[in-house]
Amino acid sequence: MTTRQHPEHTDRTDPTLTVVICAYTLDRWDDLCAAVESVRTQQRQPAEILLVIDHCPELARLAARLLPAARVMENCLRQGLSGARNTGVAAASGEVVAFLDDDAAAAPDWTAHLLAGYRDPAVLGVGGLVRARWESGRPRWFPPEFDWVVGCTYRGAPASACAVRNFIGANMSFRRAAILDAGGFSTRLGRIGSKPLGCEETELCLRIAQRNPDAVLYYEPAAAVRHHVPASRTTWAYFRARCYAEGRSKAVVAQLAGPGAALATERGYLRRAVPAALAQSLREARPRTAGALVSGVGITTLGYLTGRLALVRPAARRAAPAPEFPVRSTRTSRRLTRNRS
């Protein structure tokens, strides 16, 4: 991983910014309101906030009525997070598109730090730090090296600004032209409802890098958000399911991008971060944490191997579908009419 100095401040005008927030359920209404408010009150205001509702008409109607800071639209593509994000990118007017999860809240200087990275013309994407906000407290057994299970920055990830392979989906941005050129988020990946699948952002980052070998994807930890982790995601059952789903998702990424690029970061993580954490947990007599580390690696590996096996079956040998993205239109999403009464 190549270290890169923070882009210097210049007099050059920063690009315009669209922030896309995707939501699919009423269960996160309070978090969604907090996410929109955290963007509305940024020190550096974005050009627009797009709220894309993923096949939940009731949420779409409520958001259109009660969240006037956002332009609300429905996902007009395949159901799931990838389709919703592609819908937002298609409708965006900003030169840069940033993505914030519906259960995350951005720090007041989030957009300013993201945009600063684009003063370097080689930078095609900027991502930031995702801190966990544990609703019921971090479980004593839950290793920080596995905070990726709950969609947050994990111990073992870069601690300072540098070039990276990929970003965490809760806090990332790209030049819109780079997303369009790469074909958008693949709908073979990404969450659909509450199914714990993912890695669509990893696959997109790999595709952007392949198409632009000299480009930089830049990690700026000063661009921080806080991600809500409900009690339901602190159970062993969720940990196990999410690790397995991560392995299955990585198998698809390896098929699309090749195992070398798809697993490069993971190899370093397994060689350094996990062994160090395991040794520390054993020294400190924390057997449950050690067990979680070993089990997490094993279950994720099992998911990957199972996924690879499924992909080589005769029924899976058909050519992978191209990422679904409406490249010919920038306003394909249906805007909702707000109820002003």
pLDDT in tens, 164-221: 999 999 999 999 999 999 999 988 776 665 565 677 899 999 999 999 999 999 999 9
- Percent residues over pLDDT 70 in the chain: 85
Instruction: Inform me whether the pLDDT recorded for 330 exceeds 60.
Output: no
Return the higher-pLDDT residue of 325 and 80: 80
Q: Which pLDDT score is estimated for 192?
A: 64
Tens digit of each residue's pLDDT (9 = 90 or more) over 31-45 = 999 999 999 999 999
- What average pLDDT does this structure show over 104-108? 98
Residue 334 has pLDDT above 70, yes or no: no
Tens digits of per-residue pLDDT, 286-311?
A: 999 999 999 999 999 999 999 888 87
What's the pLDDT score for residue 49?
Answer: 98
Chain segment 264-292, per-residue pLDDT in tens: 788 889 999 999 999 999 999 999 999 99
Q: Is the pLDDT of residue 129 over 90?
A: yes
| Residue 12: per-residue pLDDT | 54
Which pLDDT value is given to residue 306? 93
Confidence of residue 325 (pLDDT cuts 50, 70, 90): low
Mean per-residue pLDDT for 120-146? 97
Q: Check residue 235 and give its pLDDT.
A: 96
Domains in the chain (CATH in brackets) are: 17-234 (3.90.550.10)
Least confident of 83-87, 217-221, 311-315: 311-315
**Could you give the percent of the chain with pLDDT greater than 90?**
73
pTM tops 0.85: yes
Q: What is the model's pLDDT at position 335?
A: 43
pLDDT band at 341 (very low <50, low <70, confident <90, very high): very low
More confident residue, 14 or 176: 176
At residue 339, the pLDDT reads: 34
Q: Tell me the three-class secondary structure of the chain, residue by residue.
A: CCCCCCCCCCCCCCCCEEEEEEECCHHHHHHHHHHHHHHHCCCCCCCEEEEEECCCHHHHHHHHHHCCCCEEEECCCCCCHHHHHHHHHHHCCCCEEEEEECCEEECCCHHHHHHHHCCCCCEEEEEEEEEEEECCCCCCCCCHHHHHHHCCCCECECCCCEECCCCCCCEEEEEHHHHHHHCCCCCCCCCCCCCCCCCHHHHHHHHHHHHCCCCEEEEEEEEEEEEEECHHHCCHHHHHHHHHHHHHHHHHHHHHHCHHHHHHHHHHHHHHHHHHHHHHHHHCCCHHHHHHHHHHHHHHHHHHHHHHHHHCCHHHCCCCCCCCCCCCCCCCCCECCCCCC
Q: What is the pLDDT of residue 7?
A: 44
Q: 196-205, 246-255, 332-341 — which is least confidently predicted? A: 332-341
How does the average pLDDT of the chain come out, rounded? 87
